[in-house]
Amino acid sequence: MADRRLLLLSNSRDPEGRYLQHCRDALAAHLAGVRDVAFVPYAGVGIAWDDYTAKVRDALAPLGVQVRGVHAGDDPAAAVRAADAIAVGGGNTFHLLATLQRTGVLDAVRERALAGVPYVGWSAGSVVACPTLGTTNDMPIVQPPQGFSALGLVRFQINAHFTDAHPPGFQGETRRERLAEYLVANAHARVVGLPEGDWLDVRGARITLRGAHPAVLFRAGAEAEELRPDAELGAVLEG
């Protein structure tokens, strides 16, 4: 994993609803020198993939890159292998992984990302970079045919859109309680609760938290640990 260049965003919209704006400088730096981005729209369920690709194309156009949806051709895996960078959008993580597996794109993305091709994911696109889907917030609307194993570009799990919000009168489990359940069943795992507005910048063995908010690290048998923005976390998350 020495060549990894990953930008793993918790979310795509800022509090005003602007698309891929809060991370614009990070995207510009990450995609510097890139001409063609292969966009994977498979997490989109309530949006046509052509429309999803157009939205991402419009958002990234000021960076001088061309965005091509991998669904548009006969060989989506070949489109991934030919591109200068890969972007995987948010939506339903189960639908994303199931389609990645069925089309053969999963292996192509893993191969290219581990070889150092820049990878950008947001929400579901960040969760699928982890070893499994186990820490997604999404409803399992489909069953991935090859199970929950995902790209494995990092050795830890991400819980995107992490929040401690607990509405008055709400009787369901909090996000922290859900993640504690995950760690009971998966005691070896490490989970980063990544709030909206934050992202992880992964360069080889270096992993840096960026954004405006502290994140939270969850490990079995340990108190949750606050992770401060701009902290270098490679040893903490993967050591």
Report, as residue numbers or ranges, the catalytic residues. Answer: 123, 138, 161
In sequence order, the β-bridge partners of residue 218 are 191
The C-alpha atoms of residue 224 and residue 72 are separated, in whole angstroms, by 43
Q: Which residue has the tokens 């602007």?
A: 18
The C-alpha atoms of residue 6 and residue 118 are separated, in whole angstroms, by 6
